[in-house]
Amino acid sequence: MSPKDVVRSYHEALWRDGDLGAVERFWAPDAKVHMTGFEGTAVDVVHEDVTRYFGAFTNIDTSIEDLLGDGDKVALRWATAGDHVGPYGDVPASGKRITMRGVDVFRVEGERIVECWSMWDGLDVYDQFGLLPEGLA
């Protein structure tokens, strides 16, 4: 599989199909992840992020908006939407349909993810929750 194929397969297995085992299958055990607000090994950080999301949202839809590859690096621009039915961090369930958007840049060796830089638009998400002053987002 090419690095782009690895990232596409991983994203679809985890976020579209809800297959938590995809984390162990696609991430190298010593991989590094750079994600604001999370500390630990990549596998632990990704599990924590996914568990938090899946505990707060149902009826999840995800899309790959762009998937660009250059050698061992792959940039994924994604959108994931779900019905907010449980607490998300300190935010209680709102019943709203929330769409998150972000960009992840992966580094792939062989068929395993070895590093990732993850950025998502938190300001837009908290605006959708209705937690920001009018006009801030």
Query: In the chain, what are the domains?
Result: 3-80+101-120 (3.10.450.50)
Query: What are the per-10-residue average pLDDT scores of the chain (137 residues)?
Result: 96 95 95 81 88 95 97 98 96 96 96 94 92 77
How confident is the model at residue 111, as a pLDDT? Answer: 95
How confident is the model at residue 71, as a pLDDT? Answer: 96
Say if CB 99 and CB 127 are below 8 A apart: no
How confident is the model at residue 137, as a pLDDT? Answer: 59
How confident is the model at residue 109, as a pLDDT? Answer: 97
Half-sphere exposure of 132 (CA within 13 A, CB side): 12
How confident is the model at residue 136, as a pLDDT? Answer: 72
For the record, the structure tokens of 41 come out as 């090994």
Residue 46 vs residues 27, 33, 37: alpha-carbon distances, Å: 10, 8, 12
**Whole-structure pTM value:** 0.90
Say if CB 126 and CB 110 are below 8 A apart: no
